[in-house]
């Protein structure tokens, strides 16, 4: 009989422990070959994490800047689209003839009232635009809407008008009242605008670039546009019904007001365009910084593919040997030992 130095069970347990270690080694090396990143970061940086920490921190900051720039760009783009639409509302249609003082019949007046109501509703809807659940014209109150509904606003204007002029106003008085309702300090800021204050601080995008996001539906040029649209749309509430002369006068005020407000919208759009361009530059620089930091981090943690492949082959060879030895030990029996 052959002498034994330790029991078969002990030998099998030793092989199992060694095999488990080799399995982990094979798994880690396989991951390194797949991802190209060292599994043991401490070993890769030789215990000095200062460079890796610095690069990782810079990468996080670049990610935040890129996200901020992208969000700002989306908001600016949305605001530009709204301003463009408001500008388009001031153009063409029967109102051009009314603005010139052309003779207009009742059919054209009815069409003018319908157009103004449609434009007022459209303006309110556009100014309540949201991007990803964020109101773009509501200032600091990003989780709601900037304005009450068009119907609610027209009702509020009509009720305030009647309360101020119970005997019944004429077109001149009504036009002046609506202008004051939308003026700075008027009821619009109390009843119509339900957003928050302007965002006071500029958004820092890094690299010396910041953008201002202070445009709200309370901007003067926007209020002027709403005032002009409401001057015509208020007629849809039955004001001056049966009096085409007063209706014509109201539509004339509305048409002239929209043309005047259009100039303000153009200036506001130009101001917004400057911030939009800065956001685009900030995004480009943040993306470049993010790419550079990603490359630097990868280089710090990059695994040597040749070394990993050699060690993986060695580990797999040893693991295969352990499997063979374990299988041979498993086939041992007392009968075999006695033979």
Examine the domain organization and report whether 203 and 118 are in the same domain: yes
Q: What is the DSSP string of 192-219?
A: IB-S-----SPEEEETTEEE-----TTS
The per-residue pLDDT for 11 is 57
The answer to the question of residue 45 being in a domain is no
The per-residue pLDDT for 46 is 62
The per-residue pLDDT for 306 is 46
Examine the domain organization and report whether 133 and 67 are in the same domain: yes
The answer to the question of residue 98 being in a domain is yes
Kindly report the pTM of this predicted structure.
0.75
Examine the domain organization and report whether 57 and 144 are in the same domain: yes
The answer to the question of residue 115 being in a domain is yes
Distances (CA, A) of 81 to 86, 115, 132, 276: 9, 20, 16, 12
CATH number of residue 282's parent domain? 1.20.1330.10
Examine the domain organization and report whether 82 and 20 are in the same domain: no
Examine the domain organization and report whether 290 and 307 are in the same domain: no
Examine the domain organization and report whether 236 and 136 are in the same domain: yes
* Pairwise CA distance, residues 228 & 236, whole Å: 14
Distances (CA, A) of 47 to 24, 42, 51, 241, 294: 21, 5, 11, 85, 21
Examine the domain organization and report whether 185 and 317 are in the same domain: no
Cβ-proximal residues to 250 (8 Å cutoff; 6+ apart), any chain: 171, 174, 175, 231, 232, 234, 235, 239, 240
Examine the domain organization and report whether 252 and 177 are in the same domain: yes
Handedness of CA 175, 177, 179, 181 (dihedral sign): negative
SS3 147: strand
User: Which residue range is the domain that position 310 belongs to?
Assistant: 8-39+303-338
Examine the domain organization and report whether 224 and 324 are in the same domain: no
Taking phi over 0 as left and psi of -120 to 50 as alpha, with beta for the rest, 106 belongs to alpha
Query: pLDDT for 247-293, tens place per residue?
Result: 999 998 998 898 889 999 999 999 999 999 999 999 999 888 888 88
The answer to the question of residue 90 being in a domain is yes
Residues in the chain with pLDDT < 70?
1-49, 52, 91-104, 297-339
The answer to the question of residue 47 being in a domain is no
Contact criterion met (CB below 8 Å) for 273 and 80: yes
Nearest to 79 by CA among 177, 212, 254: 212
* Pairwise CA distance, residues 122 & 183, whole Å: 20
The answer to the question of residue 48 being in a domain is no
Examine the domain organization and report whether 241 and 280 are in the same domain: yes
Domains: count for the chain: 2
The answer to the question of residue 3 being in a domain is no
Examine the domain organization and report whether 170 and 78 are in the same domain: yes
Examine the domain organization and report whether 18 and 112 are in the same domain: no
The answer to the question of residue 44 being in a domain is no
Q: For the CA atoms of 9, 14, 15, 18, what is the dihedral angle to 10 degrees?
A: 160
């Amino acid at each position: 009989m052959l002498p034994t130095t330790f029991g078969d069970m002990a030998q099998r347990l030793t092989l199992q422990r060694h095999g488990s270690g080799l399995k982990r080694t094979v798994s880690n090396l396989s991951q390194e070959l797949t991802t190209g990143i060292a599994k043991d970061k401490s070993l890769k940086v030789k215990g000095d994490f200062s460079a890796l920490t610095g690069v990782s921190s810079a990468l996080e900051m670049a990610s935040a800047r890129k996200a901020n720039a992208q969000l700002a760009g989306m908001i600016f783009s949305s605001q530009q689209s709204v301003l463009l639409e408001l500008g388009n509302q001031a153009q063409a249609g029967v109102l051009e003839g009314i603005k010139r003082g052309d003779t207009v019949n009742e059919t054209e007046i009815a069409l003018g009232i319908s157009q103004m109501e449609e434009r007022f509703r459209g303006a309110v809807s556009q100014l309540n635009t949201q991007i990803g659940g964020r109101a773009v014209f509501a200032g600091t109150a990003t989780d709601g809407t900037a304005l009450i509904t068009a119907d609610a606003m027209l009702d509020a204007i009509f009720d305030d008008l009647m309360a101020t002029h119970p005997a019944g106003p004429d077109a001149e008085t009504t036009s002046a009242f609506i202008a004051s309702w939308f003026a700075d300090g008027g009821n619009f800021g109390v009843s119509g605008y339900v957003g928050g204050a302007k965002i006071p601080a500029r958004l820092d995008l890094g690299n010396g670039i910041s953008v201002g996001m202070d445009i709200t539906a309370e901007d003067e040029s926007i209020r002027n546009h709403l005032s002009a649209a409401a001057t015509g749309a208020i007629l849809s509430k039955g004001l001056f019904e049966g009096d085409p002369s007063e209706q014509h006068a109201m539509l004339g005020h509305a048409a002239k007001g929209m043309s005047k407000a259009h100039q303000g919208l153009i200036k506001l759009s130009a101001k917004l365009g400057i911030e939009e361009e800065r956001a685009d530059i900030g995004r480009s620089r943040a993306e470049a910084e993010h790419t550079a930091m990603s490359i630097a981090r990868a280089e710090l943690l990059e695994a040597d593919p040749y070394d990993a492949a050699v060690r993986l082959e060695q580990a797999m060879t040893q693991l295969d040997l352990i499997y063979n030895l374990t299988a041979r030990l498993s086939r041992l029996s007392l009968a075999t030992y006695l033979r």
